[in-house]
Amino acid sequence: MSPHASSPDARLSEGPENLSPGMSQIPLNPEEILPYLPSQGIGSVLEILDEISSTNTYLLSLPRDQCPHGMVAAAENQTAGKGRHGRRWLAPPYRNLSFSIVLRPKTNPGGLVTLAAAYATVQALRGLSIPAAIKWPNDVVESKSGLKLGGILCEARQEKDTTLRMVLGIGLNVNLEIGDFPEEIRDQATSLHLLLGHPFDRSVLLVSLLQSFGSVWSSLEKDGGETLVRESRPLCATLGCNLRLDMHGHTLEGIAVDLDPKGRLVLRLPSGVHQIIEIGEIRKSTKVD
Ligand code: BTN
């Protein structure tokens, strides 16, 4: 998979000269985005909303004929942004990327969609020399510190004709400075601005992420996720860690030893038994030497 298709990435890696430190709240600019998006598939339709409750909720609620496969809704501000497990996703206006993509898969890819989004995001960020990694199942982190850079929330609904509408939401901390984070998560999260010392052009970054995801999605549709899973393993910071997982109220401990072909986590329990984990929340993670 080669997620970096064309010139926008080159503009990104040029560094801070296209944005000075005081300019971290520039609105998304369609003129910087649309010429670099494909006429079909991921990003072929783009809606930039000034304010919405949640881009996921918005795309789930649209009538079927108004949200084709690949349509993207990006919001400058979400008044009820959703995180996993019913949590709120908060971001000050104009500083982050908050967007969702409509997917109409031929067969239900299950958890591979979230893995595809995490992998595509990590690849796009690595293209900017940011050492990002996947924290299974839905986080993108800075690989050394483990600080969270972004999160993914995939939701789905059945259309009347029984086909599946998936809505893949991605939130990425772009131009947040330390004071923008709520105090209670300052030691758990970071942003591109904090890591690199200068703000980023969010329009260019959005193009890069959509191109990256477009490429990963094509690969997933072609081989059912074989390439995705193989290439995700070395980028998955969770593998090789001793985990404590919260599974609907009960706790499970073990070492994360692999991702299976469906993108699920393979956990080696203290008994030696391998257990496949479909969903769960990592409460504690320590690297095994
Ligand atoms: C998480 O880490 O808990 C997932 C966060 C997902 C946030 C994104 S922002 C765009 C989309 N719209 C939402 O309401 N949530 C997702």
How does DSSP assign 48-115, residue by residue? EEEEES-HHHHHHHS-GGG--TT-EEEEEEESS-B-GGG-B----TTTSEEEEEEE--SS--TTHHHH
d(CA 119, CA 2): 12
Pocket flag, ligand 1, residue 151 (CB < 6 Å): yes
Which residue's CA is minimally distant from atom 2 of ligand 1?
Answer: 151
- Tell whether ligand 1 has an atom less than 6 A from the beta carbon of residue 152: yes
CA angle 165, 221, 169 (to 5 degrees): 40
Contact 28, 46 (CB under 8 A): no
Residue 275 contacts by C-beta under 8 Å, 6 or more apart in sequence? 252, 254, 266, 267, 269
Quick one: which atom of ligand 1 is closest to the CA of 151?
2
> What is the rounded CA–CA span in Å between residue 224 and residue 239?
22
Query: What per-residue confidence (pLDDT) applies to 19?
Result: 53
56 neighbors 72 (Cβ within 8 angstroms): no
CA 133/CA 142 separation, integer angstroms: 6
Written as one letter, the residue type at 151 is G
Distance 74 CA to ligand 1 centre (A): 11
Report d(CA 263, CA 114) in Å as an integer: 9
Residue 285: predicted pLDDT: 83
Tell me, using a 6 A CB cutoff, whether residue 81 lines ligand 1. Answer: yes
Do 122 and 4 contact (CB within 8 A), yes or no? no
Residue 54 near ligand 1, beta carbon < 6 Å: yes
Distance in Å from the first CA to the final CA of the chain: 31
Query: Which structure tokens are listed for 266?
Result: 């393979």
Ligand 1 neighbourhood includes 78 CB (under 6 angstroms): yes
pLDDT mean values, one per 10 residues, the chain (289 residues)? 36 41 80 98 98 98 97 98 95 96 95 98 95 97 96 97 96 95 93 94 97 98 98 97 90 96 97 94 83
Is the CB of 121 within 6 Å of ligand 1?
no
Amino acid, res. 61: S
pTM of the entire predicted model: 0.92
Cβ neighbours around 83 below 10 Å, total: 15
Place of tokens 């956990």: 267
